[in-house]
Amino acid sequence: MALLSSLTPLFVAALCVVLVFLFKSSQKKENEAVKPEWKPTAESRPWVDEDLQDDTEIRHKDEEDGDWVESGGEEELAHVPYPASRYPVEVMVQRSQDFYSLMNQRRSVRFLSPEPVPRQVIDNVIRTAGTAPSGAHTEPWTFVVVSDPEVKHQIRLVVEEEEEVNYRHRMGDKWVSDLQRLRTNWVKQYLDVAPYLVLIFKQTYGVVAGGQKKTHYYNEISVSISCGLLLAALQNAGLVTVTTTPLNCGPQLRLLLGRPANEKLLMLLPVGYPAPDATVPDLTRKPLDDIMVHL
């Protein structure tokens, strides 16, 4: 009885420990069950289209419907007649055929000639890229065109340093071996050789008068569409490029080029004439039946 009496506090203590532990553990499990729904960056907006699974998309829904309204700002815009120009049917068919033939000759070319390219052509292809539609007509793109040899070389150093680390330490053996077959490695000579480097930044938000931030809906899709127009304009002018997305270099290149924090590097395109001995992989494109479904 004396033993029992002296054990009671210990027994009660142990029981309490077990009970509280169980209670707290069940709380923790509830938290864990909620975790997969937890999104650190997006507010609760139950109506967003989860199907797209893109944060750019999700942010967009806040203040716009699905159309990319081309609005200049807050005030109501006048609506003016659209000046249509129509081609006769046979001309239209021929034009569509010719444009396809021209674009189908485009290839990603990594071997560029150092020959100078008229600046006027560069201006025109960037102007063309700037005609792309964009979410709420925000035009969320900045094209940094680099021809200064020293800046080009600095860019090369940043890209190659990161790429070498990628190859040597970050990528698996299979990855590196896959890339060897494609004759790709971390040496990017074209970054010095090309007369122009075009670094395409997406503006993730805008800054209006007073310093307030303005959402740039669908900025990544908009800038990518604009890049499509840029590629078309380059091909139309007889210039070549390769669409690259340098790995891990965005922040360094942004600082190097003095771009503000709302701009993120999306793509880097070396631009010039092809080298006389340029080669490309002998690949084909999917036929129309593989990419188009008609209903």
Site for a copy of itself in 161-200 (CB under 8 A): 163, 165-167, 170-171, 174-175, 178-179, 181-184, 186
Instruction: State the nearest-atom distance from the C-beta of 90 to a copy of itself, in Å.
Output: 9
Tokens of 88: 């006769």
Question: φ and ψ at 150, to 5 degrees?
Answer: -70, -40
* Cα gap 295→286, rounded to integer Å: 20
Tell which positions 91-110 bind a copy of itself, by CB under 8 A.
Answer: 92-93, 95-97, 99-100, 103-110
* Cα gap 198→269, rounded to integer Å: 5
* Cα gap 113→282, rounded to integer Å: 21
Out of 15, 42, 187, 208, the only residue in the binding site for a copy of itself (CB under 8 A) is 15
Counting residues that bind a copy of itself (by CB under 8 A) gives 170
Of residues 210 and 286, the one with the C-beta less far from a copy of itself: 286
Instruction: Give the dihedral sign, CA 84/90/91/95.
Output: positive
Q: Which of 249, 265, 140 is nearest to 200 (CA)?
A: 265
Question: φ and ψ at 266, to 5 degrees?
Answer: -105, -45
Of residues 211 and 277, the one with the C-beta less far from a copy of itself: 277
Q: Is 205 in the site for a copy of itself (CB under 8 A)?
A: no
Tell which positions 106-165 bind a copy of itself, by CB under 8 A.
Answer: 106-111, 118, 120-121, 123-133, 137, 139, 141-148, 151, 159, 163, 165
Instruction: State the nearest-atom distance from the C-beta of 211 to a copy of itself, in Å.
Output: 19
Q: Which of 186, 224, 231, 273 is nearest to 54 (CA)?
A: 224
Contact string (CB under 8 A) for a copy of itself, positions 57-86, x = contact: x--xxxxxxxxxxxxx-xxxxxxxxxxxxx
Task: Name the 3-class secondary structure at 121.
Answer: helix
Of residues 173 and 211, the one with the C-beta less far from a copy of itself: 173
Of residues 194 and 226, the one with the C-beta less far from a copy of itself: 226
Look up tokens 């094209």; give the residue: 143
Out of 3, 35, 44, 210, the only residue in the binding site for a copy of itself (CB under 8 A) is 35
141 DSSP β-pair partners? 202
Of residues 101 and 210, the one with the C-beta less far from a copy of itself: 101
Tell which positions 218-247 bind a copy of itself, by CB under 8 A.
Answer: 218, 220-221, 224-233, 236-238, 240, 242-247
Of residues 128 and 193, the one with the C-beta less far from a copy of itself: 128
* Cα gap 128→150, rounded to integer Å: 28
Task: Name the 3-class secondary structure at 143.
Answer: strand
Tokens of 228: 């499509």
48 class by beta-carbon count within 10 Å (0-12 exposed, 13-18 middle, 19+ buried):
middle
Instruction: State the nearest-atom distance from the C-beta of 156 to a copy of itself, in Å.
Output: 13
Tell which positions 249-288 bind a copy of itself, by CB under 8 A.
Answer: 249-251, 254, 257, 264-268, 273-274, 276-286, 288
